Amino acid sequence: MTAGMRIRDALLFAVLLKVAHCGGGSYKREVKHEDIAQFYSSTATIRTLYTTMHTDGCKVDTVRTTDYRHTEFNRNYTSQNNRPSLELVGTFINILHGRRDVPFNGMDINMKTGQKLHWYEELLFTFDSLNCGIFFVSTTWGRKGKDYELRVRSGSSASRQCYEELISYARRAGVVASKFKNCTKNI
């Protein structure tokens, strides 16, 4: 390979990096950093309306208290009437690890008794003045999976825009529409 070809390839690579960095496509979404602590604020009631989780994905979270690092809430499963309520603690974390200028957007969830569950939930996007949220949900160690949920705060319904965003996230993860469970039938 000659020096001229190396220089040409290096310049081409630099141009491609610049285009990628500038967002070479015509579609641009405003960067919005979600705050899960605001969504799970004290005394909020949060209902799952749509989920890609298995049969027990339909749930209602009743927040007891929230501070700057944690939230305590009860989780009731609406699809399983005989399942007891769980007392849970969510510890807020920031997925954008090195960024201190953005709010917490996820939480690790464990039993209030201290039992480790390895549950993780990340607030991806909110709509309707923080009343509708799209969540990534993992119940496996390592925060892996491709389950998503649409949750609303008490008294709210899901706007079309919020629902379409849920479908969009799930499709990008390879989730087919037939995997969605409509939890409104259990309310």
Residue 132 lies in a domain: yes
Residue 30 counted as domain residue: no
What range defines the domain where residue 63 resides? 36-186
* C-alpha dist (Å) from residue 168 to 22, 107, 139, 162: 23, 22, 21, 10
Closest CA to 124 of 98, 142, 103, 105: 105
Q: Specify the number of domains making up the chain.
A: 1
Residue 89 lies in a domain: yes
Query: From first to last of its 187 residues, what are the pLDDT tens digits of the chain?
Result: 576 656 555 555 454 444 444 444 444 455 678 899 999 999 999 999 999 987 677 899 999 999 989 999 999 998 777 788 999 999 999 876 666 666 889 999 999 998 998 899 999 999 999 999 999 999 888 788 889 999 999 888 889 999 999 999 888 888 887 788 998 875 5
Residue 17 within any structural domain of the chain: no
Assess if residue 9 is contained within a domain. Answer: no
Q: pTM for the complete prediction?
A: 0.78
